[in-house]
Chain A
Amino acid sequence: MKSNIVRTVFAYQLYEDRRLWDEVIMPLDESLFYVDTGYSWGSLQRESAHVIDAMHGYMQRLHGSKQIAKAFAVDNPDRAQVRERWDAVEAEWRSYIARFDDREFDRLVDTVYRDTLVSVPVWQLVFQVFNHNTLHRAEILQIVAALAAPLDFDSSFARYCIRNAE
């Protein structure tokens, strides 16, 4: 039952992330992707690369890795490279969530967080990723609003649930 919650929230995240890329980031003039707005990670490039890095890092933690590899092999990826890497990391998550069950939900994982070894149940790492993506989708929308124009981008989880129940 609890794993169904994880699957639904993950599907919502995929839906929102895709909308963000397709409706907000890709239609922008590419030059805006690299503009440092001076807040949080600064640019859409660095903000979205950070999200991918976190998703990739938490996936490694879920598999027991203590040494976390970066998601990008290059320092300054362009928009197409960021999008391509996003899709690849998203596919890793899709595969993991497809096998997710209630036993996995409660499994304990030893991992390093903020330079400290902690033992946490899987659900905490999974929801950390969901929450982190939500936070950064909001920041990305703020960057786009600062660079281009405010957006009407409804990202209500309730609306998503109601629409998908119909």
Chain B
Amino acid sequence: MEELTLETESSALNVDFARKLIRFNSWENQRVWDLAIVPLTDDQFLREVAFMRSTVASVCHRIIDTESVCLQRILAVSSVPGERLEDTADRAAMAARWISLRQAWNEFAAHLDGEMLFSKREFETEGDRREMHVWQLVFDVIYQGTSRRSQVLRLVAEVNQPAEFDLSLLQHLTGLLRG
């Protein structure tokens, strides 16, 4: 009976899946940056696509902002490593900021356990006190990242050319990459 309980708890609290999803988010950010954004000229990086009312730079900035805010809420701190971007047009500063943030997320993931994943965090947003589970904050980062990386690739296709790779969680998890 005791063994069964331990086994059930071990399975229930094994949060390796969450670590893998966090790693996926960082990996796909880097892939999009290296393969689709680095080849852009500065003009392409900053050019607004009218029907999307966005630029590659602005969407990247929004991804970074969400990752930063969610990690602050998870860690209950007022800031996370890396300077806030004063100039969102500065691609080198944005890349440096993103690398710092990825390292902070990796550090969080390395120490993540079941108790932490299912615990709650209280924070203020839009003038109200709110509460979310840590896993909800993690998934907010993963889903906004997926959605916005899709926007980035569409913007890149409009200002330059379509990317020659696709976005997929399973390709990361299996290592079966296309492109």
| Residues of chain A at the chain B interface (Cβ within 8 Å) | 1-2, 5, 8-9, 39-40, 102-103, 105-106, 113-114, 116, 118, 120-121, 123-125, 127-128, 130-132, 134-135, 137-139, 142, 145-146, 149-150, 155-158, 161-162, 165
Q: Tell me if B111 is interfacial: C-beta within 8 Å of chain A.
A: no
Docked CA distance A103–B11 (Å): 8
Size class of the B contact interface (CB-based, 8 Å): 35 or more
Docked CA distance A129–B153 (Å): 20
Docked CA distance A157–B142 (Å): 10
For B146, the chain A residues whose CB sits under 8 A away are 131, 134-135, 138
Task: Verify B162–A39 contact, CB threshold 8 A.
Answer: yes
Task: Verify B144–A127 contact, CB threshold 8 A.
Answer: no
B140: contacting residue among A105, A114, A157, CB under 8 A? A157
Docked CA distance A150–B171 (Å): 31
Main secondary structure of the interface of B (DSSP, over half): helix
Contact status of A120 and B154, CB under 8 A, knowing A5-B135, A157-B143, A161-B132: no
For A128, the chain B residues whose CB sits under 8 A away are 168-170, 173
Q: Tell me if B131 is interfacial: C-beta within 8 Å of chain A.
A: yes
**In chain B, residues 137-174, which have Cβ atoms closer than 8 Å to a Cβ of chain A?**
137, 139-140, 142-144, 146-151, 154, 157, 162, 167-171, 173-174
B132: contacting residue among A127, A137, A162, CB under 8 A? A162
| Residues of chain B at the chain A interface (Cβ within 8 Å) | 8, 11-15, 17, 21, 51-53, 70, 114, 118, 125, 130-133, 135-137, 139-140, 142-144, 146-151, 154, 157, 162, 167-171, 173-174, 176, 178
Report the 4 A-B pairs with minimum CB-CB distance, sorted nearest first.
Answer: A138-B150, A158-B140, A131-B169, A128-B170
Task: Verify B174–A113 contact, CB threshold 8 A.
Answer: yes
A-B contact pairs, 6 of them (CB 8 A): A5-B135, A39-B157, A113-B170, A124-B173, A135-B167, A162-B130
Task: Verify B170–A124 contact, CB threshold 8 A.
Answer: yes
For B17, the chain A residues whose CB sits under 8 A away are 2, 105, 121, 123-124, 127
Closest A residue to B177 by CB, please name it. A114
For B114, the chain A residues whose CB sits under 8 A away are 1
A2: contacting residue among B12, B70, B176, CB under 8 A? B12
For B132, the chain A residues whose CB sits under 8 A away are 158, 161-162, 165
Docked CA distance A4–B78 (Å): 30
A12 to chain B, nearest CB (A): 8
